[in-house]
A and B are shown apart, each in its own frame.
Chain A
Amino acid sequence: MNRSAQALAVSLLWIAPGIVHAQDATSVDVPRSIADVRDPTGPVTRLDLATGNIDVPGDPIHDNPIIRFAIFDRLEWRSGEGEPGYLFDGFGFVGGDYNRLWFELEGEGAFDGSLEAAELQVLYNRAITPYWNLQAGLRHDFKPEPELTYAVLGVEGLNAYWTGIEANLYVSEDGDVSGDFEVEYDEFLTQRLVLQPRFEIAAQAQDVDTLGLGAGITSYEVGLRMRYEIRREFAPYVGASWTETVGETADMLPDGADRGTLSAVAGLRVWF
């Protein structure tokens, strides 16, 4: 705005005293000019008001809150052919609506033996569509030996068709490529009793002899769990799980080893 316009604005602003706008329709004043403006009482001047140059410190709301979330979707005891085992599978994140630092922790073992598998993923997770997130980062397998680190690229589907989906592609430090896919679905039998079918499948692009993995689909797991949500945050469950090693990976198993295992499972789903 140039100087003369400013001067005009100021002069207009000071012409008339403030007018009381009574609310009754009989006396509604539709101001015809800027002169119908009250006397400001605060630090904002008439010129600021007229030009719309207002910048009050602070924010009325904070719509980018940082959320901290952690869930153990499966914290369970598993029966098997031999000794019973345990499994833990959880994730968590810190971040806002669109960008999050994501952690995933998964592992299993036998109660009488050692930890057989354990992996940690640290990912950057970004919302890209209403229900899908893109994620990228690192995965480290502490077990089985040898320890390996992978680069991870994947997608996570939140709620389309009320499902949870995760699909990741991995490239190991040795250059081997693999991937996995996971889907689960919650069916409410009652307001607290939830039936959750779950399916998981893994594949390799190449043979990795040190891990006993062959190219192609390596294994899959089908599970059915029924949980009771005592609170939404705390739900014990029971269920069954079928795990099968397939393809070349199965051919690499020692003679006499079972390809498939049916387990009864019992555990807890907890989140914070």
Chain B
Amino acid sequence: MMNRRTLIKSFSATGALGLTAGCAPSSMFRPVMSSANAAVMDSPGPRSRYDLVIGRKRLTIGGVTRDRLTYNGSIPGPLIHLREGDDVTLNVTNTLSDSTSTHWHGFLVPFEMDGVPGVNFPGIDPESTFTYRFRVKQHGTYWYHSHSGFQEQEGVYGAIVIDPADGREPYSYDRDVVMILADLPRISADFIYNRLKKMGSGYYNYQKMTLGDFAKDLQTRGALETMRDRLAWAEMGMTPTDLLNVTDKGYIFTANGVDAAANWTALFNPGERVRLRVINASAMTHYDVRVPGLPMTMIQSDGQYIEPVETDEFRIGVAKTYDFIVQPREDRAYTVYAETLDRSGFARITLAPRPGMEGPLPAQRKRPLRSLEETGMGMMDDSLAPSGGMMRDPAPNMPKGNDVNVAMRTMKPQDRMADPGVGLGDDGWRVLTENQLRSYRRLPSPPVERELWINMTTNMTRYIFSFDGKKFSDADKIQFYLGERLRLHMFNQSMMAHPIHLHGMWMELENGQSKRPRQHTVFVKPGQKLSVLITPVEMGDWAFHCHMLYHFHSGMFRVVNVAHKEFASR
């Protein structure tokens, strides 16, 4: 098998990823399984041109046979393998009867190449092809997906790997494996959205608090605290068990396009270092990833190299990517286990020395409960007032009064950078936290010229999601200026985590480290207050939204315009 170290040496000279070591056909991406996805997740080497066809295909995944939407007939779409510095051509052909699009998630591209219909271009009409052309300005792990309607949820997504221009990776490894996580609807994305809009998020929640839980609480926590807690949740019309809105009742959880039972496998020789590139292409599911029996060395976050951090588990929010290295030394199979945040299901892949093996499967943990404290609602001296209450730490731009779109206000926004998040941290092993992320290289830090504030606001009952109490259709563009240095404060005034994605430019997470990590998607926990630094590097319109699919389609979306400061007409 191809050795990664050899590979790096031969890389710039020949680009010879296709070299064989005499046995199996070699490549860094080398899964072993009978599924067609083995080929899909493989790459013989970087290319500068890909032809993608978005179409409809009947597929059986997780025992469910339905028409799905695909790139080139598969879910996920083909692994796109590029090289930094190359001028690439990506042709996307639409064979559907609806308009479509493709967005290169986390890419710095010219405005017309970003692929959001109605923001960057009109979309790709049926029976037509759009050619994306741009120079690749970055390397790392990314992904691509349709940005039209719910197509991404139906299967129109895939992984992207970009090699550094000089072929030099800062960390060495022998194997390279992509694990792209997703949540595939049991019925359809339209059905899920319809049910959420009609019944709120209770529809898929079969982990609700029951009368039995109430009785147990009375015993263990006492009547006063139990009633206080229950009334506070009831007043907001919410439930502490509503963690992701959609559960296993709505989804088949997949890794590399297949469910856990399919046992998607990648091979290693004991002692080799295996790099895993985990991409969360889910619409609504945050995953907690671990490899029981192996410490993980985290090396990349959102495509950006970080200083190595050893850990045992990490949470990957929707739309984010994390790369890590493990070194399995024993001659046995290991499981890369991705449990959903709400513990309603899991996806996995297997690392094995030989095909046909299966690693141990850990028991699923109990579904966690959100606490009022966690959402910034607890520990108040005065009342646990929901909407309309007085905030201790007032957030600019919050709508006043009883706004229909704002069912909850966080009383006490918190710095939660060191908090592993709901359901993590009590298992007796290490969990990655955001404050541990240190950029591999120090970023320039020009003085901040302007500060902006934005609040994540929700009404879970009506299923309305918004920024600052305004849905996209009622809001104006947000104005940025080319080259300025911005600090954007984000306040999560809701009980759900929101992975906030900004197109076309990086957000540098102010996590207390002097070497701030750069992110394309910032995971903002309930009740959390954080800030990012931004330097807009391209003029034009850019999407800014929560990446939870049904959240942004319900209004948690904005367009950011980047204009020249002196000539901006706004």
A97 interface contact, C-beta 8 A: yes
A24 to B108, CA, bound (A): 12
B446 interface contact, C-beta 8 A: yes
Question: Which residues of B127-175 have CB atoms within 8 Å of chain A's CB atoms?
Answer: 133, 135, 137-139, 147, 165
CB neighbours (8 Å) of B138 from chain A are: 22-23
Question: Which residues of B548-564 have CB atoms within 8 Å of chain A's CB atoms?
Answer: 552-555, 557, 559, 561-564
Most buried by B among A23, A37, A64, A161: A23
CB neighbours (8 Å) of B331 from chain A are: none
A118 to B564, CA, bound (A): 66
| B206/A98 in contact, CB under 8 A | no
Question: Which residues of A45-66 have CB atoms within 8 Å of chain B's CB atoms?
Answer: 47, 49-54, 56-65
**Per-position binary interface string of chain A over residues 30-42, scored 1 when its CB falls under 8 Å from any chain B CB and 0 otherwise:** 1111101110111
CB neighbours (8 Å) of A195 from chain B are: 211
A114 interface contact, C-beta 8 A: no
| A49/B461 in contact, CB under 8 A | no
Residue numbers of B with Cβ under 8 A of A are 84-85, 99, 108, 110-113, 116-123, 133, 135, 137-139, 147, 165, 193-195, 197-200, 203, 206-212, 231, 234-235, 237, 304, 386-387, 402-407, 439, 441-444, 446, 459, 461-462, 464, 471-473, 477, 479, 482-483, 485, 535, 537-541, 543, 552-555, 557, 559, 561-564, 566-570
CB neighbours (8 Å) of B461 from chain A are: 130-131, 158-159
| B471/A63 in contact, CB under 8 A | yes
A191 interface contact, C-beta 8 A: yes
A6 to B199, CA, bound (A): 53
Interface residues on A, range: 35 or more
| A61/B539 in contact, CB under 8 A | no
| A56/B404 in contact, CB under 8 A | no
Q: Give the Cβ gap from A88 to chain B, nearest Cβ, in Å.
A: 20
CB neighbours (8 Å) of B135 from chain A are: 20
A67 to B405, CA, bound (A): 17
CB-contact partner of B564 in A42, A51, A190, under 8 A: A51
| B473/A63 in contact, CB under 8 A | yes
A172 to B561, CA, bound (A): 55
Looking at chain A's contact residues, is the secondary structure mostly helix, strand, loop, or mixed? loop
| A69/B198 in contact, CB under 8 A | yes
30 CB < 8 A contacts A-B = A21-B108, A22-B84, A22-B85, A23-B108, A29-B537, A36-B483, A38-B538, A40-B110, A40-B111, A44-B111, A44-B540, A47-B567, A50-B563, A52-B561, A56-B120, A58-B99, A58-B118, A58-B123, A60-B147, A63-B471, A63-B553, A63-B557, A64-B471, A97-B464, A127-B404, A160-B234, A162-B237, A188-B209, A190-B210, A271-B198
Nearest B-chain residue to A71, judged by Cβ: B198
CB neighbours (8 Å) of A257 from chain B are: none
| A51/B118 in contact, CB under 8 A | no
| B111/A61 in contact, CB under 8 A | no
A128 to B235, CA, bound (A): 17
CB neighbours (8 Å) of B477 from chain A are: 52
CB neighbours (8 Å) of A97 from chain B are: 404, 462, 464, 471
Are A62 and B553 also in contact (CB < 8 A) when A52-B561, A56-B119, A130-B402 are? yes
| A28/B563 in contact, CB under 8 A | no
A190 to B208, CA, bound (A): 8
Are A158 and B462 also in contact (CB < 8 A) when A54-B540, A65-B197, A98-B404 are? yes
| A56/B211 in contact, CB under 8 A | no
| B557/A61 in contact, CB under 8 A | yes
A201 to B471, CA, bound (A): 38
Q: Give the Cβ gap from A95 to chain B, nearest Cβ, in Å.
A: 11
Q: Give the Cβ gap from A26 to chain B, nearest Cβ, in Å.
A: 6
Are A32 and B483 also in contact (CB < 8 A) when A23-B139, A61-B557, A160-B237 are? yes
| A25/B442 in contact, CB under 8 A | yes
| B563/A52 in contact, CB under 8 A | yes
CB-contact partner of A161 in B197, B234, B444, under 8 A: B234
A232 interface contact, C-beta 8 A: yes
CB neighbours (8 Å) of A21 from chain B are: 108, 137, 537
A211 interface contact, C-beta 8 A: no
Are A159 and B535 also in contact (CB < 8 A) when A54-B541, A60-B557, A130-B404 are? no
CB neighbours (8 Å) of B119 from chain A are: 56, 60
Q: Give the Cβ gap from A224 to chain B, nearest Cβ, in Å.
A: 14
Q: Give the Cβ gap from B468 to chain A, nearest Cβ, in Å.
A: 14
Q: Give the Cβ gap from A15 to chain B, nearest Cβ, in Å.
A: 13
Nearest A-chain residue to B135, judged by Cβ: A20
| B462/A63 in contact, CB under 8 A | no
| A24/B462 in contact, CB under 8 A | no
| B118/A30 in contact, CB under 8 A | no
| B459/A130 in contact, CB under 8 A | yes
| A34/B197 in contact, CB under 8 A | no
CB neighbours (8 Å) of B539 from chain A are: 34, 37, 49-50, 52
| B439/A25 in contact, CB under 8 A | yes
CB neighbours (8 Å) of A6 from chain B are: 567
| B462/A127 in contact, CB under 8 A | yes
Question: Which residues of A179-204 have CB atoms within 8 Å of chain B's CB atoms?
Answer: 187-192, 195
With A31-B537, A60-B559 already in contact, 13 other A-B pairs whose C-beta atoms are closer than 8 Å: A5-B567, A25-B443, A33-B483, A41-B110, A54-B561, A58-B117, A62-B553, A63-B473, A63-B553, A67-B198, A130-B386, A130-B387, A130-B405
